[in-house]
Structure 1
């Protein structure tokens, strides 16, 4: 019986053995090693980190491949602001990956916050900065903080020659990236989407001072300079293989990034440590696994917009599409004082019971379901792979508020660690890291050894239905989504029958699992993406069922714009209905309505 699980009676013998086998000793060695390495992609210290990972895998007897692709990444170096009509000595200044490397000067115009269309706020139907006029020849100062790449593009389209973003952090602004191109390297026909203006992030006190001057009668004139290297750089990708005793092509992909801003202990050295510990433990039980486990360490996450995982998704697309039953992202586990799984971790709807059960049985901690936003290394969405996690446990919101932390996208919610120089070893917790690794391990085992894959696609359809109902309500008389809702209702009924028949053994398990995986390829794509299966959606905020989400704009559309949107959604609805019918066609005839 496991000594490390809250509800040990709920674990089978193998799960108990794995939970007890997880130790913090090996993970902490990696953290100590990585805590001295600035693992910027394309750097010698990133190579050192890859060397450490492969050396430890060799020690464990784990087989692996080390790929050395050239990725298109952008290393930010220096940023400078010189105020031309005031005396200004700024604190830390940072440019962002894929900003233009140049110097510009001009008057500053404060443009407020972006409004809608940020990653964290998709409720405003307007485009960001919809109320901002012509910015030709000016430098835009925005309070958007970690402004979305779409917002940057809007400011540039309005004529801004540079952008300065005011961050909420009082000491130093967070590092970031400006390109909307998932994977860093654009398609030839998307190369013009790389930003062509310099961007500088400033801390909150400096930003407020600049804002005060910009809004004063005298105004503000300044010169801003940025220095970056944007180029193709060789970056190692390490992929370990834990082969099951059963001969099978099916696998689960467990993955996380090992590059970082600064030493990035909780983003994402803790995840790298968790991947390594999982490889060690699962190699020792490989003969008891029914499916293969593939574990990958990615470069290019921070400076290449998930370039490493995107390269892998492109190079191994057909293998992933045919054989990957789930992808599991390990990012920011083990943050000190992270005790819940409530507002940062996310997963696809069909995996909710699986993930929730693992959290319950191992930790008993609170958890909450969050829609998988377009971020992390979810580079497998377009392929249609069910995803678990993306971020891990979090510091409780009330504790974050007490400490004065503002909202961030990692490090357990510790804004004094995320994408700043202070993400150091003291930000990680040994107990928290071991606990999080055990949650991942149990989740993995329950997929790897499941007779019937534990994904509830009837629940998936209900989540899609809820989103479409909201769009239907918002559209009102402007558009009718009832054809889609009727198809969803029929599909949910048939899926419920299918899943019961699969559990009862009325359908051979091999057939059931093939259907479940094929359903993921359709329903995950409906719920998460809008572009083609072998493409990558841009790295901008997304809503559920993004092909139908433009319906949210109906409240602000009139005349021709409203009718153009009706044309668009008629076509998109046809495409969605066709896919839903294709999902129904996968089900055995005896469960069809």
Structure 2
């Protein structure tokens, strides 16, 4: 009996709230957490440590392909070269004020030390953000940081190196007694490097991970006086053949058969079971494919499934390759991207979604209908995870169970669970009861996106965010012409109000059985074109044709290309400031052009259905 012959089981019948169409009820009633559990059990038992570039990485890609075939979809394994990392253990020793040996892991893409290791004074720098280094001289020293993804490990490394540090020790999150030693990666380059980014964005210092309990001990020692540590890394970094799996569920009978929604999640993993990260996500994708295949004839748009690789040790190399190599089709036909990564973690009771703001009203409507008694929260999407379609201009979202604020406070903000990226990421960390709700919500998301006559996007919130962001800039650099941008933002809001009214009106006509198909096609075509403009504007600092470094600090703000709008004005008037002013002026002009183009698109589309 092969692995796949054991996994399909009869579906449970969920409770579907009233007010949902019969077809949608049938689809939601078909998803089964039992099937998801069977896949997760098989994956963690028979394909552990699914590292990109390894035998098990290939076996996982083949498993995903075979599972999608079994669900009735066309599926392929694509092999590509990727710069990946195979980190091993690390050696860490406190040398003063007393000698203690600490268990550690080398972080992926860390620089390898010489055989005799590296010694230096240890300096605690909090989360490792640029602000945390203020008032601290870390030149020639080793920094100790928290794990918290504010910023991510990759950006901690970049900032520490920029500040002159010679190494980094990153302590795990979780409760104070958490002894799990974390894995992780520190390569800032998003995807495979180019000749330019290989020189400017690769990791340049040795980095290691330690447990929370050990990290807190080191932090306490640093507070008491000088601490000297010695460390040695063990890692192999290099180009390897890696595999991604893609599968297609087209909508040949639909009105927009060439368009599709991307559903993606990484299939590579760190050592151990990696049950929540991301065997559970992959199993959900397989189950969604099985159910949507049964309803394929009802779809207006299709689905494109992507099981990415080199997420963990190649900084999203698999999904980046797919975005770069399938640019033309994605540009013309991708409508939205649902990322599924680490769903239904044990202990989560709330629901949290990150999204492009134009998707917020749509997905929250589905969430509130299916989870009326759960607390629901939202945050603007940032480029993390396999968000490799941001530059291309595909709006994205990701929703899953979330911990309470009290839980997060007690666990040093362990949003992914204290076991994240460690050998403790075992199958007991997956909540299969809550998994049923996850499946129903994902099915509802995709049903609406695949069947709605008008894509359910609202652009007034996007325009309002642009206005709010520009209002935050109080003292812009000289010559920035903030008022010109503000005038365009006001025009954008007016155009968005008219455009949203048009899409709502045409959608209502379809709901009443009197829709105009030509109007729907015009509006949906405009929505895709608007997305190609506003998504990179709102979320990328480098624009459409490049990829921001992972967790890049400017992406913590809306319209990242304007991150330095105030900071440049605080630099002394010399050649550094003048060069920054030149760059900022060009970035400002690009923002202005994007706003103008978006306004024109909205106005033309609105007029075309008047």
Above 0.5 in TM-score?
A: yes
For 2:383 and 2:101, the matched residues in 1 are separated by 33
Q: Secondary structure at the match of 1:69?
A: strand
- Counterpart CA distance in 2 for 1:566 and 1:161 is 31
How far residue 246 of structure 1 moved from its aligned partner, in angstroms, is: 2.4
**Equivalent position to 2:214, from 200, 203, 206:** 206
More deviation in 270-279 or 104-113? 104-113
Q: Structure 1 residues 56 and 149, CA, compared in 2 at 3 Å: closer, same or farther? A: closer
Q: Shift of residue 53 of structure 1?
A: 2.1
Q: Residue 598 of structure 2: which of 568, 571, 583 is its match?
A: 583
- Match 1:294 to one of 287, 298, 304: 304
C-alpha distance 296-79 of structure 1, shift in aligned 2 (>3 A): same
**Superposed CA offset, 1:435-458 (max 9, x none):** 111111111111111111111122
Question: How many angstroms does 1:231 deviate by?
Answer: 1.4
- CA drift of 1:189 comes to 1.1
Measure the CA separation in 2 of the matches of 1:35 and 1:496.
Answer: 49
Q: CA deviation at 1:148?
A: 4.1
User: Cα distance, 1:52 vs. partner?
Assistant: 2.4
Matches within 5 A, 1:44-55: 44-55=55-66
For residue 239 of structure 2, what is the aligned residue in structure 1?
232
1:282 corresponding residue in structure 2: 292
- C-alpha separation in 1, matches of 2:366 and 2:49: 34
**Aligned residue for 2:327?**
317
Partner of 1:135: 139
Q: 1:496 to 1:5 in 2, by over 3 A?
A: farther
CA distance in 1, matches of 2:288, 2:568: 48
Query: How far is the alpha carbon of 1:546 from its aligned partner?
Result: 0.6
* Shift in CA distance, 139/562, structure 1 to aligned 2, threshold 3 Å: closer
Q: Which residue of 2 aligns with 1:171?
A: 179
Matched, 1:243 2:250: yes
Out of 451, 470, 473, the position equivalent to 2:472 is: 470
Match of 2:368 in 1: 360
Q: Please name the residue that 2:80 is paired with.
A: 69
For each residue in 1:78-103, what CA deviation from the matched residue of structure 2 results, as whole angstroms up to 9, or x when unmatched?
Answer: 20123445664444311111101223
Aligned to 2:314: 304
Q: What secondary structure, in the 3-state scheme, does the structure 2 residue paired with 1:57 have? A: helix
Name the residue aligned to 1:121: none
- Asked if 1:500 corresponds to 2:507, the answer is no
Query: How many pairs are equivalent?
Result: 569
Three-state SS of the structure 2 residue aligned to 1:346 is: strand
Deviation at 1:286, TM superposition (A): 0.7
For residue 7 of structure 2, what is the aligned residue in structure 1?
A: none
Residue 155 of structure 1 and its aligned partner are, at CA, apart by 2.9
Q: 1:446 aligns with which of 448, 466, 472?
A: 448
> Does residue 412 of structure 2 align to residue 398 of structure 1?
no
Query: Do the aligned partners of residues 178 and 25 (structure 1) sit closer, same or farther apart at CA in structure 2, a change above 3 Å counting?
Result: same
Alignment equivalent of 1:351, drawn from 353, 359, 369: 359
Asked if the contact 2:127/2:148 (under 8 Å) is kept, the reply is no
* Alignment-derived partner of residue 257 in structure 1: 266
Note the 1:507-522 alignment, pairs <5 A: 508-522=519-533
* Residues 148, 412 of structure 2: 8 Å contact kept: no
CA distance in 2, matches of 1:529, 1:111: 30
Question: Are the equivalent residues in 2 in contact too, given 1:75–1:229 (CA < 8 A)?
Answer: yes
Q: How does 1:23-172 map to 2 (within 5 A)?
A: 23-36=32-45, 37-84=48-95, 88-103=99-114, 104-113=117-126, 116-117=129-130, 126=131, 129-133=133-137, 135-136=139-140, 138-143=141-146, 148-169=153-174, 170-172=178-180
CA contact (8 A) 1:266 1:335 kept: yes
**Displacement, 1:154?**
3.6
Find the residue that maps to 2:307 and give its secondary structure: strand
Q: Is the Cα–Cα contact under 8 Å of residues 114 and 129 in structure 1 kept in the other structure?
A: no
TM-score scaled by structure 1? 0.89
Any residues of structure 2 matched to 1:418-497 within 5 Å, and which?
418-471=420-473, 473=474, 475=476, 480-497=481-498
State which drifts further: 485-494 or 41-50. Answer: 41-50
Report the equivalent of 1:407.
413
Is the CA contact 1:181–1:538 (under 8 Å) kept in the aligned structure 2? yes
Superposition pairs of residues 16-27 of structure 1, within 5 angstroms: 16-27=25-36
- CA deviation vs aligned residue, 1:179-213 (integer Å, no higher than 9, x gap): 11011x21111112212221112223433444555
Deviation at 1:498, TM superposition (A): 2.4
Q: C-alpha separation between the residues in 2 aligned to 1:421 and 1:129?
A: 31
Return the alpha-carbon distance in structure 2 between the equivalents of residues 269 and 578 of structure 1.
43
> In structure 1, what is the Cα distance between the partners aligned to 2:104 and 2:605?
64
Q: SS of the residue aligned with 1:335?
A: coil
Question: Partner residue of 1:526?
Answer: 537
Q: What's the offset of the Cα at 1:264?
A: 1.4
Is the aligned partner of 1:379 residue 2:393? Answer: no
Range with bigger deviation, 235-244 or 561-570: 561-570
2:557 matched to 1:569? no
Retained in 1: the 8 A contact 2:124–2:219? no
Displacement of 1:143 in angstroms is 5.0
Q: CA deviation at 1:130?
A: 3.9
C-alpha RMSD over aligned residues: 2.7
Gaps of 5+ in 1: 118-125
- The answer (yes or no) to whether the contact 1:108–1:141 under 8 Å persists in 2 is no
Shift of 1:225: 1.1
CA–CA distance in 2 between the matches of 1:28 and 1:143?
33
Query: Cα deviations across residues 340-364 of structure 1 (Å, max 9, x unaligned)?
Result: 224xx20000001111011111222
Structure 1 590/424 Cα, relative in aligned 2: closer, same or farther at 3 Å? closer
CA contact (8 A) 1:478 1:554 kept: no
Compare 348-357 and 236-245 and name the one that shifted more. Answer: 236-245
Gaps of 5+ in 2: 1-11, 507-515
Aligned-pair CA distance for 1:129: 2.0
Q: Distance in 1 between matches of 2:215 and 2:464?
A: 44
- Equivalent residues of 1:4, 1:19 under 8 A apart: yes
> CA, structure 1 residues 242+355, in 2 after alignment: closer, same or farther (shift >3 Å)?
same
Is the 1:84–1:222 contact (alpha carbons within 8 Å) kept by the matching residues of 2?
A: yes
Deviation by residue 1:390-423 (Cα, 9 ceiling, x = unmatched): x52212223444xx3221343xxx22x2112111
